[in-house]
Amino acid sequence: MASDRTGLLIIRAWVEEGASEPLRVQVRVVTDVATGAERTLTLVRPERVCAAVEEWLADILTGSEQPG
């Protein structure tokens, strides 16, 4: 029987003027707030941000905990 878990995902985005790829996105993910294990990613491509969100959702569904 799976236990109830609460995940958390925070996306912070900003533009870095003058950079060749000006988008900067920090993604902070936790698959179970009770454990507090967190990963932080810094990304520059929108498709990579979407992939990180999809990966986090898959982790929530399967109950896997990624090492921080």
Task: Indicate whether 56 belongs to any domain.
Answer: yes
Supply the range of the domain harboring residue 49.
8-62
Q: 68 lies in a domain?
A: no
- HSE-CB for 4 with a 13 A CA cutoff: 0
Domain assignment present for residue 50? The answer is yes
Look at residue 1 and tell me if it is in a domain: no
Output the pLDDT for position 2.
53
pLDDT tens sequence across 11-46: 999 999 999 999 999 999 998 898 888 899 999 999
With respect to residue 67, please indicate whether it lies within any of the assigned structural domains.
Answer: no
| pTM score of the predicted model | 0.79
Q: Which pLDDT value is given to residue 54?
A: 97
Domain count, the chain: 1
Residue 47 has what pLDDT?
97
- For residue 61, give Cα distances in angstroms to 4, 17, 41, 43, 58: 11, 38, 20, 23, 5
- Evaluate whether residue 23 is within a structural domain: yes
> Sorting pLDDT into bands at 50, 70 and 90, what band is 3?
low
Residue 35 lies in a domain: yes
